[in-house]
Amino acid sequence: MGRYNTFVGYFKQKYGCRLQKIVIDAGFTCPNRDGSISRGGCTFCNNDAFHPGYSTPEKSVAEQIEEGIEFHSRRYRNCNDFLAYFQPYSNTYAPLGKLKEVYEQALQHPKVRGIVIGTRPDCVDESKLDYLARLAQEKIVIVEYGIESCYNSTLNRINRGHTFEQAKWAVDQTHARGIGTGAHFILGLPGESRQMMLDQTSLINSLPVDSVKFHQLQFVKGTAMEREHDNRPEDFVTFSLEEYIDFFIDILERLRPDLFIERFAGEVPPRFVRETPWGLIRNTELLRMLESRLEARNTRQGVLYK
């Protein structure tokens, strides 16, 4: 038994095999970009930094799936089952008819066992969730909500455009329908102290999610967040690699023991950032370092959970 619940383990436990995500860019946008709520998007965001080259909206969903399968089959030779991961921007931000068209294109592929939908809490409603619940009776369906912080003051500062209360409603409604539910958080957002980041763990535990994904804040070139950091660096908590691993373990000790950890740190291609303070370390090495440090501290997920 490992010292924390891995997401690969979640798939193997629930579905009996490894499932590899194929990133799909279906050409969606966000309400804080197109003027519905705001313009400019979240202050940390440049979506080009977070998805692979085969994933572009100029290609059809079917083309992206084929190229994604070829790409991942070279890396993971024993992987034959895939999930279509609608990742860039807000992938429920369209009329229901459009969503059905896009999702069902992906599900027609014989090697695609289901879909993962990255979106915002304010871009779902009951009719969309009812449709996803029907899909989930036959296919794997997971909705991953970008929540980013449990503090409304932070969400406002980063131009997120929704509140934590909206996030809680969306998660509650999704879970209640039997749809797989995940949440994403960023550690190191402006104005948040280490204690605030630790304290929000109790709020994360209160959400009926199956999995959580954490990223350290990275300053992507050309974003408003980069400019804010240049002007007010004192508003940001930053971590060396060793500090971040130890701090994440502090969080991990407080997380519900049944939660699955999909990711605890992120990678942005070096060309998108001004500097790479952790060096060019890959995710596999980060995982090895986390496991080694958990062993050294003789601790595990949930030991401080109340």
Instruction: Identify whether 84 is part of a domain.
Output: yes
Who contacts 191 (Cβ-Cβ below 8 Å, separation ≥6)? 153, 154, 157, 235
199 and 150 Cβ atoms separated by less than 8 Å: no
What is the tens place of the pLDDT at every residue in 215-268? 999 999 999 999 999 999 999 999 999 999 999 999 999 999 999 999 999 888
The rounded distance, in Å, linking the Cα atoms of 173 and 170 is 5
**Domain assignment present for 222:** yes
Split at pLDDT 50, 70, 90, the class of 179 is very high
177 neighbors 131 (Cβ within 8 angstroms): no
Residue 92 C-alpha from the chain's centroid: 15
Six token digits for residue 294: 């958990």
For range 184-194, the mean pLDDT: 98
Cα separation, 123 vs 151, in Å, equals: 19
Q: Convert the pLDDT of each residue in 232-244 to its tens digit.
A: 999 999 999 999 9
Q: What is the pLDDT of residue 156?
A: 97
- Other C-beta atoms lying within 10 Å of the C-beta of residue 117: 27
- Measure the CA–CA gap between 294 and 197, rounded to whole angstroms: 20
Q: What are 101-144's pLDDT values in tens digits?
A: 999 999 999 999 999 999 999 999 999 999 999 999 999 999 99
Q: Outline where 16-146 has alpha helix (H).
A: 61-75, 96-107, 126-136
Asked if residue 85 belongs to a domain, the reply is yes
Which of 28-42, 46-60, 173-187 is predicted with the least confidence, judged by mean pLDDT?
A: 46-60
Q: Work out how many domains the chain is built from and give that number.
A: 1
What is the tens place of the pLDDT at every residue in 270-286? 888 888 888 888 888 99
Give domain status of residue 211, yes or no: yes
Average pLDDT estimate for 88-110: 96
Check residue 293 and give its pLDDT: 98
Listed residue (84, 162, 166) closest to 125, CA to CA: 166
Q: Output the domain CATH number for residue 46.
A: 3.80.30.30
Could you give the CA distance from residue 196 to residue 236 in angstroms, rounded to a whole number?
12
* 242 contact partners, CB below 8 Å, separation of at least 6: none
The percent of residues above 90 in pLDDT, for the chain, comes to 77
Amino acid 50: pLDDT: 58
Q: Is the pTM of this model over 0.85?
A: yes
Report d(CA 104, CA 12) in Å as an integer: 24
CA–CA dist 116, 107 (Å, integer): 11
pLDDT tens column, 58-79: 899 999 999 998 888 777 767 7
Q: Tell me the helices (H) and strands (E) count for the chain, helix number first.
A: 11, 7
Question: Both tokens of residue 253?
Answer: 């000790």
Q: How confident is the model at residue 52 (pLDDT cuts 50, 70, 90)?
A: low
What mean pLDDT comes out for the span 289-306?
97
Q: How far is CA 104 from the centre of its chain?
A: 22
Domain membership of residue 304 (yes or no) is: no
- Per-residue confidence band for 49, with pLDDT thresholds at 50, 70 and 90: low
CB contact at 8 A, 266 and 45: no
- Amino acid at the residue 33: R
Query: At 197, which helix (H) or strand (E)?
Result: helix 194-199
Residue 14: inside a domain: yes
Average confidence score pLDDT of the chain: 92
| Main-chain dihedrals φ then ψ at residue 136, nearest 5 degrees | -70, -15
What distance in Å separates the CA atoms of residue 253 and residue 292, rounded to the nearest whole number? Answer: 15
50 lies in a domain? Answer: yes
Residue 283 has a pLDDT of 86
Output the pLDDT for position 19: 86
Range of the domain at 220: 7-297
Q: Is 143 part of any domain?
A: yes
Cα–Cα distance for residue pair 172/121, rounded to 1 Å: 11
